[in-house]
Structures are given as C-alpha cells and as structure tokens.
C-alpha cells in the first residue's frame, strides 16, 4: 500500500484530499493543529480499511516540526506521497505589515514546507522513489493589492519546488506544484484575511482534491511538474 502524508489535513482541501486518497487505496499520515479534528476525520476513514496515523503539529512552530514528524513516521507508516497543503494568508499593505506577521506567514507558507521536505527526504531517498506535491496559488504569478506578502510567499514556494525537483530527480523523487485559483475554504474566514470576493464563484475543495489525486496517480515514469486549476469565472 502507498502511504500519503498531508499537512493541513483537518479541513478544507487537506480533509477533502484525505477522503479522496483513502477511497483510492492510500494509507494516510495526517497532520494539523487540531488533534480532535484529525481524530474525527481518521474515524471516518479507517472503516474503508485504511491505516490512518495523525499528529497535532503547529507548523508555525519551527522547532516542533522535526520532532513531530519524526514521532509520526516512527509508528511504522512511511510516506511515499507528500502533500504540502497547509497555508495561511494576510491582507494588508506591505508598508504597514508587522514584521511578526510577515515572519509568521513565511514560516507557514514556505519554511514549514522546507522543513517537512527535509524530514521526509531520507525516507524517500532510502526507498528510491517518492512524490512531493506542493500546493501553491496563482498569486505566485500575479500582483494583488494588499496581498503582497501572500503573493511573495507563494512565488517563493514555486521556486523552492522547482529547485527541489532538480536536486532530487537523481534519487527517483518527483516534485509537482498544484497552482490553484481561489478555493472556497476556511482561509477566507481567518482573522488575517479581509476580502469581498464572491465565494460562490470559487473552486470547491473537492475540485482541488481531484487535482491532487490526478497528480498522485501519474505513473512513476512521468511527472506533471505544474498543474494550474482556476475557477471558470477567472482570477479571484
């Protein structure tokens, strides 16, 4: 059986991806901040015959990530598929954005992805194969007023993914980036985001999960390096 590790798995795209992958035969390692939400999700998936391990890890805490992932992977289930889905947003002018908010956003959107990859790469290299999928945003290629920090973090994530792909190719490890337009998720309800976008026109988390499954099911002899999924209404 193939095991998948998903960050930000307790809700939204992460939870939808967990359900989709479990239904298609994947065992799961799920992490997020809320252990209770993860356990609820795991209880829904285990009756499908899947092995599901969960861990409450706050990706905003850089020191907690290596320890938490080491403990999670020590339970006997090692991932061959890694989906870095967790992320946050902040709306506000760059000129007045507090440094602490900038550092928080980059820790979650970029640095934690780097840390997760560093933690799992020894396992993937030992197996001689693996697939890392990083979830990005079309904001990586666009400039939106008051979304500058978010745009910059997603652009950094795209560049990181491309560099990682080149470095790990000889180890049999593939890297993909899923670029998404606006998705109707809990991100829009967070205290750091203030927006009047029409959420009815956004992508559904299930659509993003379908795209993740598509990427994951590519044969080992090929890789879709970049996949962009946008709402039919256009950029949001």
User: What residues are annotated to the active site?
Assistant: 150
How many whole angstroms separate alpha carbon 132 and alpha carbon 140? Answer: 19
Of 216, 20, 23, whose CA–CA distance to 133 is shortest?
216
**Are 25 and 19 a contacting pair, CB within 8 Å?**
no
Domains and CATH numbers, the chain: 3-229 (3.40.50.720)
Using pLDDT thresholds of 50, 70 and 90, give the confidence band for residue 195. Answer: confident
**Rounded to two decimals, what is the model's pTM?**
0.94
Reported as a single tens digit per residue, the pLDDT across 158-191 is 999 999 999 999 999 999 999 998 888 777 667 7
Tokens of 26: 């994947």
Q: Which residues does residue 136 pair with via DSSP β-bridges, in sequence order?
A: 179
How many whole angstroms separate alpha carbon 153 and alpha carbon 78? Answer: 28
Reported as a single tens digit per residue, the pLDDT across 110-145 is 999 999 999 999 999 999 999 999 999 999 999 998
How many whole angstroms separate alpha carbon 212 and alpha carbon 227? Answer: 9
Confidence at residue 236, expressed as pLDDT on a 0 to 100 scale: 57
Provide the b/e sequence for 49-86 (b: ≥16 CB within 10 Å): ebbbbbbbbbbbeeeebeebbeebbeeebbbbbbbbbb
Of 189, 196, 205, 199, whose CA–CA distance to 233 is shortest?
199
Reduce the DSSP state of residue 158 to 3 states and report it: helix
Reported as a single tens digit per residue, the pLDDT across 51-102 is 999 999 999 999 999 999 999 999 999 999 999 999 999 999 999 999 999 9
Confidence at residue 163, expressed as pLDDT on a 0 to 100 scale: 98
Does the pLDDT of residue 19 top 60, yes or no? yes
Of 154, 131, 126, 42, whose CA–CA distance to 83 is shortest?
131
Question: Which long-range contacts (C-beta less than 8 Å, at least 24 apart) are formed by 92-99?
Answer: 92/146, 92/149, 93/146, 93/148, 94/148, 94/149, 97/148, 97/149
Cα 73 off chain centre by: 18
How many whole angstroms separate alpha carbon 9 and alpha carbon 31? Answer: 6
């Amino acid at each position: 059986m193939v095991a998948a590790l998903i960050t930000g798995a307790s809700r939204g795209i992460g939870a939808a991806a967990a359900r989709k992958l479990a239904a298609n035969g994947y065992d799961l390692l799920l992490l997020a901040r809320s252990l209770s939400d993860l356990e609820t999700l795991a209880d829904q998936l285990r009756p499908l015959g899947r092995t599901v391990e969960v861990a409450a890890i706050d990706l905003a805490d850089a020191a907690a990530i290596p320890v938490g992932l080491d403990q999670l992977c020590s339970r006997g289930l090692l991932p061959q598929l890694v989906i870095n889905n967790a992320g946050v947003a902040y709306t506000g002018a760059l000129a007045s954005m507090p440094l602490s908010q900038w550092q928080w956003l980059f820790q979650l959107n970029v640095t934690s992805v780097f840390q997760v990859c560093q933690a799992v790469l020894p396992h993937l290299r030992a197996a001689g194969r693996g697939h890392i999928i990083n979830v990005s945003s079309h904001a990586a290629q666009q400039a939106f007023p008051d979304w500058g920090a978010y745009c910059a973090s997603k652009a950094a994530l795209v560049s990181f993914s491309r560099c990682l792909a080149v470095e790990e190719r000889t180890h049999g490890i593939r890297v993909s980036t899923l670029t998404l337009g606006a998705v109707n998720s809990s991100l829009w309800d967070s205290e750091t985001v203030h927006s009047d976008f029409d959420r009815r026109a956004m992508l559904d988390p299930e659509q993003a999960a379908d795209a993740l499954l598509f990427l994951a099911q590519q044969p080992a002899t090929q890789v879709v390096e970049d996949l962009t999924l946008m709402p039919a209404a256009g950029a949001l």
